[in-house]
Structure 1
Amino acid sequence: MNGQVFVIGLGLIGGSIALSIKHTHLEAKCSGYDVNKEQLKLGKMLGVIDESVSTIREGAEKADLIIIATPVNETKRIVEELAHMNLKRDVIITDAGSTKKEIISSANYLKQKGFTFIGGHPMAGSHKSGVSAARRLLFENAFYLLTPEPHITEEKIDRLKEWLTSTKAKFITVTPHEHDYLTGVISHFPHIIAASLVRRAEESSQTQKLIPRLAAGGFRDITRIASSSPAMWRDILLQNNEVLLGLLEDWKKEMNYVYDMLTTADNEEIFQYFQSAKTFRDEMPQKQKGAIPAFYDLFVDVPDYPGVISEITGYLAKEEISITNISIRETREEITGVLVISFQTEEDRDRAIDCINRQTSFEHTIGM
């Protein structure tokens, strides 16, 4: 497609969408804006955008497609601001936020002016942030939720999908209410639970000093999403509070059920509780991307000798395999330690496994 694309917010998400559009729509021009001028400068230097603009108005008023990839509270403000600009009559405006109800409400200003706003949410992410982490295929095989209002024509929805076709995402159309409930269940609520578990561990550590040391293993892994941006999650919880309050009520009932189950010490009931959870979890698709970024971890058993970590990372570097994080579980004299290496994609992890198999005799397992 030919036209002018304007991306507001040059972080991981906005940058990745821009790269995918530029890859397929070679005649389109992509401009960008970000409050962080260093990110904006870096985005142009890396070829994520063709040009940078100094104000939102400068980029928006000549755009055929406007993509807002900012925190949800900022998105709401920008949507309202766009309604007062001299936009092209056939412009399509979309966002990438993980809540929709309040953003769609703000889009009424655009609807009153006759402009088209289609809510969007690419459900993929990364351990890294910023425009330097942007990847063209970040959303490949990920679900991309669209939340058009009833007055939006199929022609406009199809035109947005055509712009975004090179993301290779799987588009699903839902209502804004459905979107907020779905993401509340599978993304927002789990973040609350993870943060709560960490807070409980912190409180318990005041009297049990071993907790921080013991939590460095599996507990740290299952609560890793608690390390997400506090400002971002504050805004998400406030915008999706109605859904989350309902989910918290359901959670209270669930915990009361567990409490009663333990009180009665019913052997079979306890077994079935975990069995049903295991069955449902095991049946979840393994190759699809979901609302929470997948973690592609490799656990390598390494002997305790000087240079062993640099040896392994050196092998990976020679084959240009990028790692997103690295940590050590246990390193004591004469005891095998566990080196935890995280990768951005399953493909990178598979390549790393092959590399380590060829270069060493170290045993390893993958994170589940």
Structure 2
Amino acid sequence: MIRNVLVIGLGLIGGSIALSCQKAPHTKVYGYDINEETRKLASSLEIVHEVVDDVIQAAKLADIIIFGTPVSATLNWMEQLKSWQLKSGVIVTDTGSTKGLIMKKAEELQQSGISFIGGHPMAGSHKSGISAAKPYLLENAYYMLTPLKNESADKIESLEQLLKFTFAKIIKVDSFEHDHMTAVVSHFPHIVAASLVRQFDFENQKYPMTSLLAAGGFRDITRIASSNPIMWRDIVLQNRDELIDQLDSWVIEMNNVKDLILKNDDELIEQYFAGAKQVRDNLPVSTGAFYSTYDLYVDIPDYPGVISEVTGYLAEENISITNIRVVEAREDVFGILVISFQNAVDRDLAEKCIKQRTQFEMYVS
């Protein structure tokens, strides 16, 4: 018996999930995107088995419907679902990064006899759109499911049996817990990064050389400020209450730091940084929310052709890189050449490759 899967929204996440679902046995994957050009690309890139133009007709065939759309769009789709003719026992899920509003709407669907299980694959890329979709994008990433408390265990199991082909780490959490945890480790840090960049811009207007020195720690801690502003506008609005709580706690913490500095006690200041270092060093190494880089810092000597030499070694071993940059201001950076990789495996292979061929010192970040 064929299991029909319909993916609505064929961007980076939706496209990657669709590619993963194609690996499931006895499964046919249909795909729809509101953008006609995206539908054409989905067909030519074989992101799905079949691209559809009539999403309502396709939904009639679906055993599982996956929304790979932004939360605001998913909410609109969920409202439309109420009037669609769907299979009895159909399972609906999403991929949104906030779950509170989604799961409130899910309660309405449940009253209409539709099972909705919230989902959030916590992975991404520095690229976006369907052309960046990969079947292994979610591999070893956390894939959080937020079913309603009275959801059928069989329905949850059925969805997990499909999503296991993403090779993600599937875990179940309450939607409130999800929004709180992602606020702490993802949403709030983006606000901090954006505020640091805005403060930098203010200072740089007075001291233009500041931009030349903005490397190392500043670039690392503010990298996520380059994320899609429309997406982050929506996330802030959707997870507003949790973010306000985090901001209140942050203000308290910053006032504590200010008091610590005013006391001018070198031992207390050292303890503050030591405590932070211990917590940071004990964090598990895993793929968290959104895009994570795997950087290799290489302390290369300054002679013509050295960068092409290093990248040539990697090309010989068919090791793919996602980004490369030269760091000029290196106050707190170990190495002048920073090479970024899609995953830790590629980074480790690159480190081994360069080590076998050179005497360059390297540092993993």
Provide TM-score, normalisation by structure 1: 0.92
- The aligned residue for residue 17 of structure 1 is 17
The structural deviation recorded for 1:128 is: 2.3
Q: Where in structure 1 are there 5+ consecutive unaligned residues?
A: 332-336
Partner SS state of residue 208, structure 2? coil
Instruction: Kindly provide the amino acid, as one letter, of the partner of residue 134 in structure 1.
Output: A
2: CA distance, partners of 1:200 / 1:55:
48
Instruction: Kindly provide the amino acid, as one letter, of the partner of residue 184 in structure 1.
Output: A
Instruction: Kindly provide the amino acid, as one letter, of the partner of residue 362 in structure 2.
Output: H
Partner SS state of residue 22, structure 2? helix
Q: 1:105-152 CA deviation, whole Å, 9 max, x = no partner?
A: 222332221000000111122222222322223222222111111221
Question: For residues 342-361 of structure 1, what are the structure 2 equivalents within 5 Å?
Answer: 342-361=340-359
- The aligned residue for residue 101 of structure 2 is 102
The structural deviation recorded for 1:215 is: 0.6
The structural deviation recorded for 1:312 is: 2.5
The structural deviation recorded for 1:279 is: 1.3
2:7 matches 1:7:
yes
More off after superposition, 269-278 vs 356-365: 356-365
Q: 1:11-52 CA deviation, whole Å, 9 max, x = no partner?
A: 2211221122211x2321101112333333222222220111
Instruction: Kindly provide the amino acid, as one letter, of the partner of residue 187 in structure 1.
Output: S
The structural deviation recorded for 1:292 is: 4.3
The structural deviation recorded for 1:74 is: 1.2
Q: Is the 8 A contact 1:80 1:107 kept in 2?
A: no
2:37 matches 1:29:
no
- The aligned residue for residue 128 of structure 2 is 129
Question: For residues 98-247 of structure 1, what are the structure 2 equivalents within 5 Å?
Answer: 98-247=97-246
Instruction: Kindly provide the amino acid, as one letter, of the partner of residue 232 in structure 1.
Output: M
Partner SS state of residue 210, structure 1? helix
Provide TM-score, normalisation by structure 2: 0.93
2:300 matches 1:302:
yes
2: CA distance, partners of 1:242 / 1:259:
26
Instruction: Kindly provide the amino acid, as one letter, of the partner of residue 338 in structure 2.
Output: V
- The aligned residue for residue 328 of structure 1 is 326
The structural deviation recorded for 1:212 is: 0.7
Which one of the candidate residues 313, 316, 324 is aligned to 2:314? Answer: 316
More off after superposition, 244-253 vs 42-51: 42-51
1: CA distance, partners of 2:273 / 2:314:
39
2: CA distance, partners of 1:324 / 1:59:
36
Instruction: Kindly provide the amino acid, as one letter, of the partner of residue 176 in structure 2.
Output: H
Instruction: Kindly provide the amino acid, as one letter, of the partner of residue 315 in structure 1.
Output: Y
2: CA distance, partners of 1:341 / 1:52:
37
1: CA distance, partners of 2:354 / 2:169:
34
Partner SS state of residue 206, structure 1? helix
Q: RMSD across aligned C-alpha pairs, in angstroms? A: 1.9
2: CA distance, partners of 1:257 / 1:71:
37
What is the aligned-residue identity percentage? 54
Q: Where in structure 2 are there 5+ consecutive unaligned residues?
A: 330-334
The structural deviation recorded for 1:64 is: 0.7
2: CA distance, partners of 1:150 / 1:9:
27
More off after superposition, 231-240 vs 61-70: 61-70
Partner SS state of residue 118, structure 1? strand
Q: 1:52-100 CA deviation, whole Å, 9 max, x = no partner?
A: 1124323322111111111121111111122221111211000011101
